Amino acid sequence: MERYDLVNNQINYSSRTLRAIATNGLPLKIRAEWTENDYWERQHPDTDDLTCVAVRGWLIRINGKKYPRQLGDEGIDWTYRYTAPRTEEGMQTAIKNALSEARLTVW
């Protein structure tokens, strides 16, 4: 089985920070982090009934900006994650999706 390479070895892996150069010349620092968080939502504004929402997935930072950057009803919803598997290939898939969302390509 062939390994899924994001950009054919054009991303330099050093510790947890990935470095690359975008096609527009911008140097990129990419961090991928697997997160498992629980968020509590109030079911009704007048009661203390809470519902637990488990959020598991990849959180990607490109030059310090968090991805995915989905817009909710009141702005950016930070509970969104890329739900690729918790593997090397899943991480590369999440990075590819974040680069696409940021409208960046790596040469």
Residues 9-63 have pLDDT tens digits of 555 554 467 888 888 888 999 999 888 888 888 888 888 899 888 888 898 999 9
Map residue 28 onto helix, strand or coil: strand
Q: Which residues pair with 56 in a beta bridge?
A: 36
What's the pTM value of the predicted model, to 2 decimals? 0.71
Alpha-carbon radius of gyration of the chain: 16
Identify the pLDDT of residue 8: 46
In the chain, what are the domain boundaries? 12-101
Q: How confident is the model at residue 105 (pLDDT cuts 50, 70, 90)?
A: confident
Q: Flag whether pLDDT at 4 surpasses 70.
A: no
Distance, in Å, from the CA atom of 23 to the CA atom of 29, rounded to the nearest integer, reads 14
Identify the pLDDT of residue 28: 92
Map residue 95 onto helix, strand or coil: helix
8 A C-beta contact, residue 68 and residue 81: yes
Map residue 8 onto helix, strand or coil: coil
Q: Flag whether pLDDT at 5 surpasses 70.
A: no
- Quote the DSSP letter at residue 45: T
